[in-house]
Amino acid sequence: MINPSNAPQKDWAALAAAGVTVVVWASAFVSIRSAGSSYSPGALALGRLLAGALVLGAICVIRRTGWPPRAAWPGIACSGVLWFGVYMVVLNWGERELDAGTAAMVVNIGPLLIALLSSRLLGEGLPRPLLAGMAVSFIGAVVVGISMSGAAHASVLGVLLCLLAAVSYAGGAVAQKPALRHAGALQVTLFGCLTGAVACLPFAGTLVSEAAHAPLSATLNMLYLGVFPTALAFTTWAFALARTTAGRMGATTYVVPTLVVLMSWLLLDEVPSLLAAAGGALCLAGVAVSRRLSHGRRPVLDVAAGDGAGAREAPTG
């Protein structure tokens, strides 16, 4: 058993990695909006995944990272198809049908689904701070969504697509957790990205055709999505997920809609309303509450998992 005194350092490392993830993922909404005007949902997802796999593959070659162990492949394959494949395609499609506020609000049922699935399938439990924090953050996400909606059109199809995106995101995130007990974050991210790219290969012809006519700005946004929100942010997510529970990691993503509002303010000169600011404050407060450990409990790290991959909570004494 690893000395519990190392737990705070590991928790801060996970929190820092999660912070990088949510900031970069929030920037993806701006890039998707730009690239989506020239690339169809499937082609945009494939181009993004290919760019991400190229960067991750180069890093793995330099670091001489080998193939993941056989035990990691079920989780890698499942998360690759659901999260890297299905999620990216349907989210790109959904954002064509819904305004950003409504889309963010619908997709943000994902963290709740992650907590429920991880409790059922991974035995992580549902500690009170997590449930309380998720409730506060969900209310904040709803407030942010309401503040941003209304200016653009919405459709039933868009809502259904965003619901499917939330379900696939949650399923992929929970499937990834067991894989991280057997393989490193870089391995899991690279081969998940490659699995998603293979699943999106039917869109290859469309990607080539659209790339030939797309403006440079749209293509650069697609490449940005591959290098940063995919290669970087999914790796930092996996790094953090290996050091904490899936439920607590999922709760941190409630901050994303708030960051999207701030980025739209800075980059698109869209001044957020007081309602959006209030919702963002609730999201941040909920994440802070969700990351508190229950009274009288401390993290215990399972040596067999490696790097805290089997982190769990256990009573003291």
**Segment 207-241, tens digit of pLDDT:** 999 999 999 999 999 999 999 999 999 999 999 88
pLDDT digits (tens, 9 = 90+) for 117-148: 877 777 666 667 666 766 776 777 677 666 65
- In one letter, which amino acid is 52? G
pLDDT digits (tens, 9 = 90+) for 62-81: 999 999 999 999 999 999 99
pLDDT band with cut points at 50, 70 and 90 for residue 305: very low
Report the pLDDT value the prediction gives residue 132, as an integer from 0 to 100: 73
In the predicted model, is pLDDT for residue 270 greater than 60?
A: no
Report the pLDDT value the prediction gives residue 104, as an integer from 0 to 100: 66
Report the pLDDT value the prediction gives residue 176, as an integer from 0 to 100: 93
**Strongest mean pLDDT among 44-53, 119-128, 284-293:** 44-53
Rounded average pLDDT over 274-279: 66
Inter-residue contact 80 to 191 (CB < 8 Å): yes
Rounded average pLDDT over 159-170: 86
Rounded average pLDDT over 267-292: 63
In the predicted model, is pLDDT for residue 82 greater than 60?
A: yes
Report the pLDDT value the prediction gives residue 296, as an integer from 0 to 100: 40
Report the pLDDT value the prediction gives residue 32, as an integer from 0 to 100: 86
The position carrying tokens 């869109």 is 203
pLDDT band with cut points at 50, 70 and 90 for residue 303: very low
Report the pLDDT value the prediction gives residue 263, as an integer from 0 to 100: 75
Q: Are strands 312-315 and 297-300 parallel, antiparallel or unpaired?
A: antiparallel
In the predicted model, is pLDDT for residue 166 greater than 70?
A: yes
pLDDT digits (tens, 9 = 90+) for 243-257: 877 667 766 776 776
What span, in angstroms and rounded, lies between the C-alpha atoms of 114 and 109? Answer: 9
